[in-house]
Amino acid sequence: MSQTVPPILSVVPTRAVVDETFKVLVENLPPASPVTIRSLHHSEDQDYWEAYGFYISDHRGTVSVSEDLSFGGTYTGKEPMGLLWSMRPVPGSRRGLRLRKMNVCTPMLVDISVYSGHEGFGDRAPLASALTERWYMAPGVKRIEIKEKGVRGTLFIPPGPGPFPGLLDMWGGGGGLLEYRSALLASRSYAALALEYFSAGELESVELQLKYFETAFNILRDHPQVMPDRVGLFGLSLGSLVSLYLATASTAIKPRCCVCISGNHSYPRGKPLSGIYEELSRNSHKVRVDENNHMIWRDMGLAIMSNPLNNMDIGKINCPLLLVNGLDDQNWPAVESAEDIARLMRAAGKEHLLTRLTYPDAGHLIEPPFSPHFRATNFIETIQKQKVVMLWGGQTKPHSDAQEDSWRQIQSFLQLHMYNSPTPRAKL
């Protein structure tokens, strides 16, 4: 591709919060020219992730990713954010990778480049490039480490004088401390406490009772920049189970609302968190693997759920509840659990408190918008204490659509039940 004026690639905005869209525009190309637009990210785990689309420049020699069709690559069609949500490890990478931001005080850096041609573009030098920053923490968000009363976590406070509604944010069975969703929630005007409640691979020894979570809730509630009567629960997977357990079994706290993603309502009553591990072990014969040797827990979950003694007293829920699930969840029967929760709430005369979002071809790991889709990733398997590749489910495009739509719906749900009035959004 020879020309006197070099192509120009721009990304607007160059710096943004991760749930905000950007526009990628390439100018000064020859008309009707085949080009590839590629994104590349070097992760904190030192792995490279990429996405790319094949485009044809228009009569003016421009390509707009927001407006033009991709004819191939990791995504097709008009996909303004395909360069992010269709990211995958570059060929030759390690198996079972998952992209997660661990240090939220730094941005996710994404290099976006344009190449001449379609096939074999990686062997050529880019015609133009631009670097964009994707942040979980908006300017002014404060990050505070919490180590008090035995509770471990990180509190994120939105910019401004406050006070703000609060959310106790809990992740799943992988364990450890994950901060990125809490940082993003704080960027959207919620004080969020990312709670660590067991270390990776140690579920079987966790003797935590309700009191640990109640203490964490109260630490958040009592913070001077938190509205004490507007503290809710937010969980994914095991974190959703804990959220439901608190909402049904605790007499010490009153959550304003609950958001539960890919959760379930099976919890051995009166037992510590390690009781979940006991149930998993008891039903481990139901675990199966697919043709790729990816582990599937779904049937084990069905077996646990089939025993009514394992299920919570859902009729005791007294706050608005949002359930978010994917119909292709291969890790846990979350959709069946949601249907049973709906039945139990209906029987208790509390169906009006329930909102359900169910997405075709979405899997278990429904993350913030534009996050890459992970159908199967490495996981420290709880029962045998070995690293396996866990099948989460989902197909990339519909799963990504589910992440984008569910985040919008979650924001609307929280706005309704935590604020009841419009509130400004922090922006970069």
Q: Which residues pair with 323 in a beta bridge?
A: 260, 356
Spatial CB neighbours of 221, under 8 Å, sequence gap ≥ 6: 166, 228, 231, 253
Can you tell me the distance from the alpha carbon of 46 to that of 28, in angstroms, rounded to the nearest whole number? 34
- Same domain flag for 22 and 95: yes
Would residue 407 count as lying in a domain?
yes
Residue 245 lies in a domain: yes
Q: Indicate the pLDDT class of residue 428, thresholds 50, 70 and 90.
A: low
CATH code of the domain in which 108 resides: 2.60.40.2240
Residues 28 and 66 in one domain: yes
390 and 303 housed in the same domain: yes
Residue 383: pLDDT band (50, 70, 90) is low
Domain boundary among 106, 134, 162: 134
Same domain for 376 and 234: yes
Check: CB of residue 24 under 8 Å from CB of residue 11: yes
What's the whole-number mean pLDDT along residues 24-36?
98
Mean pLDDT over 87-116 rounds to 97
Residues 59 and 181 placed together within one structural domain of the fold: no
CA 254 to chain centre: 25
Measure Cα distances from 38 to 296, 403, 416 in Å.
Answer: 33, 22, 39
Q: What is the pLDDT of residue 333?
A: 97
* 151 shares a domain with 50: no
The last residue of one of the domains, among 81, 104, 134, is 134
| 4 has a pLDDT exceeding 80 | no
Same structural domain, 322 and 240: yes
pTM of the shown model: 0.94
Burial 198-234 (b: 16+ CB within 10 A, else e): beebebbebeeebebbebbbbbbbebeebbeebbbbb
Residues 392, 374: contact at Cβ < 8 Å? yes
Nearest to 270 by CA among 337, 197, 210: 210
In tens, the pLDDT along 178-232 reads 999 999 999 999 999 999 987 765 555 556 778 899 999 999 999 999 999 999 9
Mean pLDDT of the chain: 93
Residue 422 banded pLDDT, cuts 50, 70, 90: very low
Reduce the DSSP state of residue 193 to 3 states and report it: strand
Q: What is the CA radius of gyration of the chain?
A: 23
Judge whether residue 332 has pLDDT over 80: yes
Catalytic residues: 237, 329, 364
| Residues 102 and 152 occupy one common structural domain | no
Structurally, the chain folds into a number of domains equal to 2
Report the alpha-carbon distance of residue 173 to residue 136 in Å, rounded.
22
Q: Are residues 196 and 306 in the same domain?
A: yes
Residue 426 forms part of a structural domain: no
| Residue ending a domain, choose from 102, 134, 166 | 134
pLDDT, position 424: 43
Say which residue the tokens 């005369």 belong to: 349
The contacts of residue 379 (CB under 8 Å, 6+ apart) are: 96, 174, 295, 387, 388, 389, 390
Q: Is 425 domain-assigned?
A: no
Of the pLDDT bands very low, low, confident and very high (cuts 50, 70, 90), residue 326 is: very high
CA distance 281 to 294: 18
Whether residue 22 contacts residue 132, with contact meaning beta carbons closer than 8 Å, is answered with: yes
| Residue 386 confidence (pLDDT) above 90 | no
What is the per-residue pLDDT for 423?
44
Q: In whole angstroms, what is the distance from residue 136 CA to residue 107 CA?
A: 7
Q: Do both 324 and 199 map to the same domain?
A: yes
**Pair 127, 193 in one domain:** no
- Asked whether residue 26 is domain-assigned, the answer is yes
CA atoms within 13 A on the CB side of 69: 3
- What pLDDT score does 273 carry? 76
Amino acid at 125: A
Q: Is residue 175 situated within a structural domain?
A: yes
CATH code of residue 261: 3.40.50.1820
pLDDT tens across 301-314, in order? 999 999 888 899 99
> Do 124 and 148 reside in the same domain of the chain?
no
Supply the range of the domain harboring residue 103. Answer: 8-134
Is pLDDT of 287 > 70?
Answer: yes
Q: How high is the pLDDT of residue 112?
A: 98
Q: Which residues of 354-389 are buried (b: 16+ CB within 10 A; e: fewer)?
A: bbebebebbbbbbbbbbbbbbbbbbbbbbbeeeebb
| Residue 235 belongs to a domain | yes
Q: What average pLDDT score do residues 398-421 get?
A: 95
Residue 365 placed within a domain: yes
3-class DSSP assignment, residue 205: helix
- Measured distance CA(306)–CA(295) in Å, rounded: 21
Token pair, residue 396, equals 């990339």
